Chain A
Amino acid sequence: MPVLELKNVHTYYGHIHALKGVSMHVEEGEIVTLIGSNGAGKTTTLRTISGLLKPRVGEVWFEGRRIDHLPPHHITAMGIAHCPEGRQIFARLTVQENLEMGAFLRADRNGVQEDLERVLTLFPRLRERLKQPGGTLSGGEQQMLAIGRALMSRPRILLLDEPSMGLAPILVQQIFRIIREINRQGTTILLVEQNARLALAVAGRGYVLETGRIRLEGPAKALMESHEVRAAYLGG
């Protein structure tokens, strides 16, 4: 049974038909990537999964339970953490407060403390800046903070929306290394990316989204070698 499954999902913004029947699934322990050009509907897909948008048609299933009618806080509580696009951190709260907010729904103090340690080990930069307001971090550090905060809820699956956006190549490499490490420690990951080359390199499987529809799907290797993907997303 897949951890996460979308069945023929249609999502609208008013009249705008953003997702036109998306079906996909993510298995336990996988890194699955969702690639596509600007406006393809990647962010919309993640927002639909985490309950911030409701699909008009179709179903979303998580660990054998249907979740598309649940409010976002229930979905987060079930173990889906959404790390939103554009490093949306709490700019005026300190790094530590940001991380603690990530564990808002948890009552186990000791577990939270453990996870804080774990996050700070993954991102040593954040440890040095614990008392600093999040807004004063550099772009890369803010991205680390956003990912770290999502991990603080100890999720079963982590939804990452374009973690490489606006970062220098060195930093992108570093973030992707950390993503692989998080996955190795046992968290399933659904990774949305425009940087198809890198995303397909870390992922086991991938989906290609085009104007609200899944165009291609399959093992990352196969996608990387496919003619269409090379032409459209890998520059020839």
Chain B
Amino acid sequence: MKAMQSVRTGLRFGLIFGMALIFTVLVGFFNAFAEASLAGLSVPRWILVVVGLWCGYMAGRRAGGHGMGELARARRGLTPALTAGAVGGLTAGVLLAAFTAIIARYNLREAFENIVPATVEILTLGAGVPAGLVWHLVGGALLGSGGALLWTAGREVRPPAGWQAVAKAGAVLALALYATLGSISALLVALSTRVAVVGTLAQLPVLRSVHPDDLYRVLRLTVTAAGAGGIVGVVLLLVSPQAAQRLARRVPAERLTALSFLLMATFFPLTLGSYWNQVLTTIGIFVMMGLGLNVVVGFAGLLDLGYVAFFAIGAYTYAFLNSPKYGLSVNFWLALPIAMATAALAGILLGVPVLRMRGDYLAIVTLGFGEIIRLILNNQVELTGGPQGILEIRPPQVFSLLINSPVEFYYMILVGAVLVAFVTARLNDSRIGRAWIAMREDEDVARAMGINTVNYKLLAFAVGASFAGIAGMIFAARQRSIFPADFGLLVSIEALSLIIIGGMGSIPGVIAGAVVLKGLPELLRALQEYRLLLYGALLVIMMLIRPEGLWPSRRRAREIHEVMDESQVSVSSLPSASPAANTPREPGATP
């Protein structure tokens, strides 16, 4: 009876994971990464191993009694988990073997362009058809069991209490150390072209080993530093619990992390070279857009899917004012307030007709607005040059310095993004921010509180639009030429995705989201073709494991946890006539 249940659980998970694997093959993932390897194992093999283990882990977890009452869990032993894991892995293996046999025997290229002879080769690990299929079955069963064992082991091993806080403190300290050393190194190298002595200092082995000259290296060192720091923290906890707890309490984790990243963002680009600075500039443009959209969506709760329109308006306003084609040749700094005002005005113009709309309707109308602007830019050939765009836009000038190279642009964007972040943070803490919160929570009640919701909505649209306008201007100045195709729906989707991934309503979250969404694809350049797939997968995974985003605002984190712990909270707050209910609750009892 119970054994049957485990087998069925295994079958179900095996089918799901097997199908997912086949889908991955069909979209061409295996072929694309056949050559790439990580730590000595090719990417397709990594995928096979990870999927096998994962399948066994999930099946084992379900059969092992995850999510059941304490009692049911205690009674269940290792066997059901192991059975389910093995059956799951084997089932996935059988599916994959059948699929491989079919594509080896029949020519499916007509239907699926990603199925080529090499695919069979990859899937059978180079062993050919009959032998490779045995691999699938044996490997599947073994990996599945391994996954189930991993789950069981994870359940048995209990790390010392409070280890997360200590690991976090250690990681943050190590990160701060790395950021400081790296910044010193970058600064010294940048200076060494002027002052020779500094160059020799920069050759110190400590500084050389952390010198930021490549974003891959920066990423690797960041992860290594944080990981090592975390491990040191946990070791310290085992050696001297008191010292470790004190450390965890003393380290202002959030502020120190923010400071470290600010340090890295300020000094690292000095030595990162043109290519990576170009990438960082793109990230910066998206940070600005994300911060603006965050005002509209995250603060005021107005879902805007046509946000790219304001980016386009900023870019085209600058192009009209600056490009010799129109004979105005207004310089960047003079054009800046004009472009901001134009974008803000467009935001209000969009805002007025949608004042009464909520949720889905608002999303659809704004979506349409974004497309209309793009179509106008595309079709008004006389005015905008149509698909040929506007050329010869000039970059800005600061005193005698023409901002021209990627590094210079990066620093301009950095200053702009910091300013925008500062302004949005101040707005959020002000009366205006409170009005937005009230409006987002419940518009009718907000009105009863005496909040002029019309003005505050329009203000949110205008502020968000003007930030996108600045971003658009900088984009135009960097590209030197702009085309309607630069302002498609995808830009709006990316801006919204980065907010969701980073943490709705949180300023550091928006920055983290932009770095992940625009930076990671650059780092995993081979993935470019699968960028959209990556977005989708990232969004789904985020919603599942961290719905509040990478770096959520306190309020948002609380809301999400409140929903999750709802049963618990509402039980503890039931009214009661007994005096016992009047004893004060522990402050912050709800996370």
Contact = CB atoms under 8 A, between A and B. Distances in A.
B573 A52 contact: no
B451 A104 contact: yes
A147 B450 CA distance: 15
B199 to A, nearest CB: 56
A128 B577 contact: no
A131 B559 CA distance: 13
Contact of B450 (A104, A128, A141, A170): A104
B450 A153 contact: yes
A3 interface: no
A140 B574 CA distance: 10
A128 B582 CA distance: 8
A73 B451 contact: yes
Nearest to B454: A71
Nearest to B587: A131
A54 interface: no
Size band of the interface chain A makes with B: 35 or more
Interface stretch (B117-125, B430-438, B472-480): B430-438
A21 interface: no
Given A90-B438, A131-B588, A136 B451 contact: no
Nearest to A77: B450
A37 interface: no
A72 B450 contact: yes
A202 interface: no
Nearest to B588: A131
B448 A82 contact: yes
Interface in A38-88: 50, 52, 71-73, 75-77, 82, 84, 88
A64 B447 CA distance: 24
A60 B444 CA distance: 21
B448 A76 contact: yes
B438 A71 contact: no
A129 B448 contact: no
Contact of A136 (B431, B577, B590): B590
Nearest to A84: B448
A129 B573 contact: yes
Contacts of A101: 434, 438, 446, 449
Size band of the interface chain B makes with A: 20 to 34
A32 to B, nearest CB: 20
A73 B441 contact: no
A174 B398 CA distance: 69
Contacts of B555: 92
A148 interface: no
Contacts of A133: 558-559, 562, 569, 590
A77 to B, nearest CB: 6
A73 B573 contact: no
A104 B575 contact: no
Interface in B331-354: none
A101 B438 CA distance: 7
Interface string A141-183: 1000000010001000000000000000010000000000000
B44 to A, nearest CB: 46
Contacts of B570: 136
A138 interface: yes
B590 A132 contact: yes
Contacts of A76: 448-450
B438 A104 contact: yes
Interface string B448-488: 11111000000000000000000000000000000000000
Going nearest first, the 4 A-B pairs with the smallest beta carbon separation are A76-B450, A138-B575, A73-B452, A105-B450
20 contacts: A72-B448, A72-B450, A73-B451, A75-B450, A82-B448, A84-B444, A90-B438, A90-B445, A102-B449, A104-B435, A104-B449, A131-B588, A132-B573, A132-B590, A133-B558, A133-B562, A136-B590, A138-B573, A153-B450, A170-B577
Given A50-B448, A52-B444, A104-B435, 12 more contacts: A76-B450, A90-B445, A92-B559, A104-B450, A124-B582, A129-B573, A131-B589, A132-B585, A132-B589, A136-B590, A140-B575, A141-B575
